[in-house]
Amino acid sequence: MDLTIPKPDLELKARARRFAETVLFPLEEELELNGHLPDATKAKLKQAVVDHGFNAINHAREHGGQGLSIFQQTLVNEELGKATGGLWAAAWHPAVALKHGTAEQIRDYLVPSCQGRRRSAFAITEEGAGSDPRRVRTRADRRDGRYYLSGEKWFVTSGDVADYLIVHAHVDGDPDKPTLFLVDKDLPGISVKRIPKFMHNYVFEHPEFVFENVALGEDKVLGRVGGGFELTKDWFVEARLQIAANCLGAAIRAAEVANKYAAERVQFDRPIRDFQAIEFMIADMAVEIMAAKSVIYRVAWEIDQGLDRKLVHARASAVKLYASEMAGRVVDRALQVLGGRGYMRENPVERLYRDIRVDRIWEGTSEIQRAIIGGQIKKRGLGPYVDWA
């Protein structure tokens, strides 16, 4: 079999690396020290994303996106994932569920979102619901041909810069009717409860939203009534693949920083990389990265070849689980190699150490991924994970 990456894809990856190094990396310390970027800087960053062709890489060109394959998206997300502070999020990926909208929804929401004229945020998690979406309490009560949305949503990533939300709610409070709604943020009845602070600094915020009888027309249902869980699962798959690629990039950058430092740092009259303790840590980092890259690239390629939807869900969980935990181990070792310098916020490894911790939590915790994998094995045996087919 030929595992060679085509030259155009390698050129795309190199272009993404240049974008990360010349556009994103220079903003890292300002974001870290100030906790935010000025609006003018964010506007320039947004334009740079468009100018470099990294807006909506996950959507078709006919809708204003870049039309990249899953494998190509993985190559780009790997390089952008090397940036700290969640700066990779500046290159927006409108939710995949939007492509299932009506012609009017595609015109009014998807196309302008791809172009950067609008931005969405996905709202599913609540105080009492996250891993178990059936416990969602946000409801959309249907009366007189309209829906009235009430409830709270937590951890709405990029909700501060979004102008509309994709809200997962239960119609009439029925957990058998999970439904996605397109909710413009300027509608009456929507408020921000608070904007919590987290372990990492992130280029955008994660607000908590309150919805009080927000009136929505039937044209705001995305997909069909009761079809929200399947669309949310598709979003989870896409997000998990992106997280895996971001984690791969973060691990590579940490390893590169540590490897360079180990060659330059001299103690006891020789570079510290000559000490077996350091050499072995760098070797372990390299092997973990190699293994993660192999499985991430494989699954991305398989999806492009038309992998069965159920297998996509199964393997996306495995990829996200392994990549997020791999990144934690690699960045931890990199920090150890760097010693005290690795503990300074001016060092990208310190920032990555905090950044990547959430990757074992959001879009499905490591424990949820293991539960999904375990469930797949019960149904289908080990084949989905050990066979090459």
Domain assignment of residue 295, yes or no: yes
Return the CATH number at 175.
2.40.110.10
Residue 287 is predicted with a pLDDT of 98
In a shared domain, residues 236 and 362: yes
Which pLDDT score is estimated for 2?
A: 84
| Structural domain contains residue 237 | yes
**The predicted structure's pLDDT at residue 117:** 97
State both tokens at 161.
């810069």
- The 3-state secondary structure of 212-272 reads EEEEEEHHHEECCCCCHHHHHHHHHHHHHHHHHHHHHHHHHHHHHHHHHHHHHCEECCEEH
> Which parts of the chain have pLDDT scores under 50?
none
In a domain, residue 43? The reply is yes
| pLDDT, tens only, 58-111 | 999 999 999 999 999 999 999 999 999 999 999 999 999 999 999 999 999 999
230 a catalytic residue: no
CATH number for the domain spanning 255: value is 1.20.140.10
Same domain, 203 and 246: no
In terms of domains, do 321 and 201 share one?
no
Are 275 and 322 in the same domain? yes
Domain assignment present for 2: no
Domain end marker among 209, 226, 243: 226
pLDDT of residue 310: 87
Query: Does one domain contain both 374 and 291?
Result: yes
What single letter denotes the amino acid at residue 97?
A
Same domain flag for 63 and 157: no
93 in a structural domain: yes
- Cβ neighbors of 30 (< 8 A, separation 6 or more) are 37, 41
Domain boundary among 211, 226, 241: 226
In the set 279, 350, 363, 367, the catalytic residue is 363
CA-to-CA separations, 49 to 43, 83, 91, 245, 376, in angstroms, rounded? 10, 14, 6, 18, 38
Length of the chain: 389
Assess whether 148 and 101 both reside in one domain.
Answer: no
Query: 234 and 372 in one domain?
Result: yes
Judge if 61 and 173 occupy the same domain: no
CA distances from 96 to 75, 131, 276, 310 (A): 18, 20, 47, 17
Owning domain of residue 275: 229-386
pLDDT of residue 1: 73
- Report if residue 336 sits inside a domain: yes
Which pLDDT score, from 0 to 100, does residue 108 have?
98
Predicted pLDDT of residue 203: 96
Residue 316 DSSP class: H
Q: Which two tokens stand for residue 185?
A: 């943020």
Q: Is residue 270 part of a domain?
A: yes
Please count the structural domains in the chain: 3
- 125 and 34: one domain? no
Residues 271, 276, 277, 281, CA torsion sign: positive
Are 182 and 238 contained in the same domain?
A: no
Q: Cβ(181)–Cβ(220) under 8 Å?
A: yes
Q: Are residues 138 and 287 in the same domain?
A: no
- Final residue before a domain boundary, out of 97, 115, 133: 115
1 lies in some domain:
no
> For the domain that residue 60 is a member of, what is the CATH number?
1.10.540.10
